Amino acid sequence: MLIRRASSIKPSEITSHDLFLRRREFLRGAGWAVAGAALAPTLACGAEDEARPPAPVAGADANPFRTDETPTALEDATRYNNFYEFGTDKSDPQRHAGSLRTRPWSVAITGEVAKPGTIDLDALLRPHTPEERIYRLRCVEAWSMVIPWLGIPLAEIIKRFEPSSNARYVAFRTLLDPEQMPGQRSRVLDWPYVEGLRIDEAMHPLTILATGMYGQVLPNQNGAPLRLVVPWKYGFKSIKSIVEIRLTRSEPPTSWNRQAPREYGFFANVNPDVDHPRWSQKRERRIGEFKKRATLPFNGYADQVAALYRGIDLRKYF
């Protein structure tokens, strides 16, 4: 099993990247206002982002979700991305995402909740303790990465707004602003990007909202200032630059399922036994490696999440 309840591995021991060496200094001063801090130009942070006063961070090392796999190099993780709002080539987000202004940023919490409203991102995250979790991120086209995310369980945010008994799904929406996101001027997708989870998936402790990676503020091209991370699903489920979280009674539409329903299902669980219509899912290439490896069911998280789908035909509900 790749996730351990306790870990003796320190972040400095699992990656040698020079920027990662400044992690502890970052964590002492950043808190959950990190998404407003200034970022190095090489990570394409918006020039107009506003710096925020530092806040203390507690327990960033003491988390139960850690893998001993070697993280993908930061350069690869920030230069090889799917983020169609900035272009369809893997290198487009890194080149063009500097136009995104991540402050001010607000998130609407709506739908089947007792306390709906729109709240500033910093106020939304401030009461929570950040955790670093190193997850495998598996994308379509059989490639994957291992990313150290800074995030909090989505469940902590949902509970704060008191979901009703009618809340069966959680829907997410990305910012719609073609001036900041020039890829939205194309018709490659029906904008804005939308995604969704079943409520039990959203409340699972592996599901997080991330505002950082590699001990740094989340780069624009990786979904700043707030993105979803659902590590047992294909990468397109992990919606970026979230501006609305809506709890619903019925299954919400999702962008890629709406665009190509034969190719992209609502659940999108990593399943090597179900091929994509245009390629095999049985093997994957880890970015930075040449040799392919076997794809694992649920991306290696079967022990944690398989029970969510007991009795469901995952070939039909893919």
Which domains does the chain possess? 20-305 (3.90.420.10)
Task: Give the separation between CA 219 and CA 99, rounded to whole angstroms.
Answer: 12
Q: Tell me the pTM.
A: 0.81
Query: Is 142:279 a contact under the CB 8 Å cutoff?
Result: yes
* pLDDT of amino acid 293: 94
Cis peptide before 261 (omega within 30 of 0): no
Residues of the chain with pLDDT under 70: 1-65
* pLDDT of amino acid 141: 76
C-alpha separations of 95 from 63, 80, 81, 123 in Å: 34, 11, 11, 30
Give the count of beta carbons closer than 10 Å to the beta carbon of residue 307: 9
* pLDDT of amino acid 65: 66
Task: Give the separation between CA 206 and CA 200, rounded to whole angstroms.
Answer: 11
> Which tens digit of pLDDT belongs to each residue from 174-216?
999 999 999 999 999 999 999 999 999 999 999 999 999 999 9
* pLDDT of amino acid 148: 95
